[in-house]
Amino acid sequence: MKNVVVYTAIFGNYDFLYEPTIVPDNVDFVCFTDNKNMESNVWQIRNVLPLYKNPELKNPYVRNARKYKALPHRFLSDYEYSIWVDGNATCRGNINELVNEYLDTCNIAVYDKMSCMLDPWDCIYEEARRIFQFGEINLQRESNKGIKAYKDNPKLIKKQVEKYKKEGFPEHLGLLSAMVIVRRHNKDDCIELGEGWWNEMKYYSHLDQMSFNYVTWKNKTKFNWIKEDVRNCRHFLNEGKHKVKIKITDDYEPINLEYFLNMKLQQGGGGKEVILNNKTLKTVREVVDFWKSKDVKTFQRQLNSSNWQYFNCMVAQFKHDVANHHDMGWNKLTKEYFDSLGDMTDDEIEVYLKENPVEFESGFIKHSYHRAVAMIGRLIFGKKYIPFYMDRGQIYDKSPVIDNVKYITIPETIGIPRGDFTVCQSGILSTMGIRQNDDLDIIISTEARNQIFKGDKYFIRRNGVEIFEKDKGKFIIFDAQGDDDLIENYSFQIDGYNFLEPRFYFSRKNKKTEKDLEDWKGIERFFELENYKGYPFNQLTLKQWGYNFI
């Protein structure tokens, strides 16, 4: 077993993973990430679930990286020494030298910000002042940026600074440059520091340099300064301010039938007016219902070269080797042309749509119009819907699924971060479009329970939110070991919020009352329409859904 680990964490495609130039025999390199397509010849890639999302930030997933940064004792306990490296840095020296030089008299070593050429200062309060200063300059340049003009929410930083001043934390006590941290991380003082540091970054600013020196002062933690400019030193090189972004191949997700039926189609001429019955039809559902009741093929014979392109495509559905309509010309997209092409099988359509994502926008069809009407044709003629793949960021951009969930934002207003609770019970029905939840039932982490509710292990009700008592028995099924396990290993995410796998709800849901029976009808219809195959529900297997209970 190697005794030294260099590790990093990259979430939200924010950094590029740089390969180290020197790899000592006793050192492992580990990267925690939510990117399932990340690869490396040196780094061990550990895929993990991002539990925290703050949409108002430049990188909404940054707190996930901070958790791994602060808590190596939780995730890398098999190693004696750990060296954290930010995702925008290259390791270019023998890491063992840092361990040997700086961990001889204590268990922690950090780089001194006073040694940084670009921004040498030694005070948390000065750091906050600079954040406010540059944020205000950015805001003057681009007033529409809002909070994103700042490195973090200025109200949160102000609250944090006021807290530190009230507690007597002195000015000019030192400031780390947190790109690299060297630790003997399983020692008690490191564990105490890490847990305290993580609490600060979770409940106040995510900016690590805003709280590290405060926590070391509060805990009287001994550490060594490394008096080098960490951005360009013997062992590391900063590759730029997050200058390389990763384009991953799983940015596209399937949309389900219900989503497609509710999409609006762009109005216009050139044949669109025929599909939309002279602009009287707005949505895919309306188009399907209208033409289902008509003699489509008789109507088709009345069209001409100025208006037949979309209608002929709708009737033909999916064909092999269709030419580009811009190159071929709309007037040549005749019934006879489409009849001359071979039909695609369902399996071929499925592969084609997955490999060729559509350019639909949030709830709106402007581009990829021919593919849309080809699918409409399938539905008109009684064939099954086969999912389109869309840019994930566009699917619910203007009407998020999460907006259907009543009280979903309340837990954060009472101090519970998104990563520290999971929604259970009828909350899932709201996302499925079956009915709105009456209240918001959640399970919270041990850490949140201790931090916010002083360890209260009983049922808690706040502002429409109902928090189940600690490790409630009805959830200790399917091998789940308690609240923390349910949040971290039995939940999936919708817009950054955790939802408990539906099987925990469906396995014991009542089937007696009128309300419950209506719920079950909605659940059954959801599966009959195969809506579970569309994003964000496609994250779950049928086992996780509890399909056997339906």
Query: What tens digit of pLDDT does each residue of 140-170 get?
Result: 888 888 888 899 999 999 999 999 999 999 9
Please report, as a single letter, which amino acid is at residue 105.
T
pLDDT at 155: 92
pLDDT at residue 125 in the model: 95
Q: How confident is the model at residue 240 (pLDDT cuts 50, 70, 90)?
A: low
The strand ranges marked E within 138-286 are 176-183, 224-226, 236-238, 252-254, 264-265
User: Closest Cα partner for 153 from 234, 62, 84?
Assistant: 62
Residue 400 burial class via C-beta count within 10 angstroms: exposed 0-12, middle 13-18, buried 19 and up? middle
pLDDT score of 140: 83
Q: 54, 62 in Cβ contact below 8 A?
A: yes
Query: For residue 14, what pLDDT is reported?
Result: 60
Within 60-217, strands assigned E span 81-85, 89-91, 108-112, 176-183
Check pLDDT > 70 for residue 481.
yes
Domains of the chain: 4-117+174-238 (3.90.550.10), 268-395 (no CATH), 401-549 (no CATH)
- Do the Cβ atoms of 7 and 81 come closer than 8 Å? no
343: DSSP letter: B
Residue 241 has pLDDT above 70, yes or no: no
The answer to whether 233 and 110 are in contact (CB under 8 A) is no
DSSP-derived 3-state class of residue 485: helix
Q: Which of 258, 247, 541, 284 is nearest to 395 (CA)?
A: 258
Average pLDDT over residues 38-61: 88
pLDDT band at 242; cut points 50, 70, 90 = very low
Give the percent of the chain with pLDDT over 90.
73
Q: Is the pLDDT of residue 248 over 90?
A: no
Report the pLDDT averaged over residues 62-67. 94
| Integer Cα distance of 153 and 132 in angstroms | 10
Q: Tell me what pLDDT residue 80 has.
A: 97
Task: Give the three-class secondary structure for 24.
Answer: coil
More confident residue, 303 or 398: 303
What was the pLDDT predicted at 487? 95
> Around Cβ 163, how many Cβ atoms within 10 Å?
13
Q: How far apart are CA 355 and CA 9, in angstroms?
A: 30
The residues, ordered by sequence, that sit 6+ positions from 12 with a Cβ below 8 Å of its Cβ are: 34, 50, 59, 60, 61, 62
Q: What is the C-alpha separation between 161 and 174, in angstroms, rounded?
A: 15
Q: Which tens digits make up the pLDDT trace of 270-327?
A: 889 999 999 899 999 999 999 999 998 889 988 888 888 899 999 999 999 888 766 7
| pLDDT average, residue stretch 27-45 | 92
Q: Where are the alpha helices (DSSP H) in 340-399?
A: 346-355, 369-380, 392-395
Is pLDDT of 249 > 50? no
Sign of CA dihedral 388, 389, 394, 397: positive
d(CA 177, CA 181): 9
DSSP-based helix, strand, coil % in the chain, nearest 5: 40, 15, 45
For the cut 50, the answer to whether the pLDDT of residue 331 exceeds it is yes
Judge whether 214 and 124 are in contact, CB under 8 Å: yes
Per the prediction, the chain carries an average pLDDT of 91
pLDDT digits (tens, 9 = 90+) for 438-467: 999 999 999 999 989 999 999 999 999 999
Q: Which residue has the higher pLDDT, 326 or 224?
A: 224
| Host H or E run for residue 462 | strand 460-462
Q: Which residue is listed with tokens 């934002």?
A: 409
The band of 1, judged by pLDDT with boundaries at 50, 70 and 90, is: low
Indicate if the pLDDT at residue 179 is higher than 90: yes
Question: What mean pLDDT is predicted for residues 518-534?
Answer: 93
Contacts 24+ apart (CB under 8 A), 244-249: 244/15, 244/16, 245/13, 245/14, 245/16, 246/13, 246/15, 246/16, 246/35, 246/38, 247/13, 248/13, 248/35, 248/36, 248/37, 248/38, 249/37
Q: What is the Cα 232 distance to its own chain's centre? A: 32
SS3 sequence of 266-322: CCCCCCHHHHCCCCCCCEHHHHHHHHHCCCHHHHHCCCCCCCCHHHHHHHHCCECCC
Residue 176 has pLDDT above 50, yes or no: yes
Q: What is the band of 245 on the pLDDT scale with cuts at 50, 70, 90?
A: very low
**Are 380 and 296 in contact, with CB atoms under 8 Å apart?**
yes
Is residue 399 scored above 80 in pLDDT? no
Above 90 in pLDDT, residue 402?
Answer: no
What is the model's pLDDT at position 470? 96
Tell me the average pLDDT across 384-406: 85
pLDDT of the residue at 392: 84
User: CA separation (Å) from 2 to 25, 180, 541?
Assistant: 8, 20, 36
- Residue 414, number of CB atoms within 10 A of its CB: 14
Kindly state the tokens that stand for 549: 């209970």
What are 434's two structure tokens?
């079956």
pLDDT digits (tens, 9 = 90+) for 78-102: 999 999 999 889 999 999 999 999 9
Long-range contacts of 432-438 (CB under 8 A, 24+ apart): 432/522, 432/523, 432/526, 432/531, 432/537, 433/258, 433/404, 433/522, 433/526, 433/531, 434/519, 434/522, 434/523, 434/526, 435/518, 435/519, 435/522, 436/404, 436/405, 436/406, 437/405, 437/406, 437/407, 438/406
Q: What is the dihedral of CA 165, 170, 172, 178, to 10 degrees?
A: -70
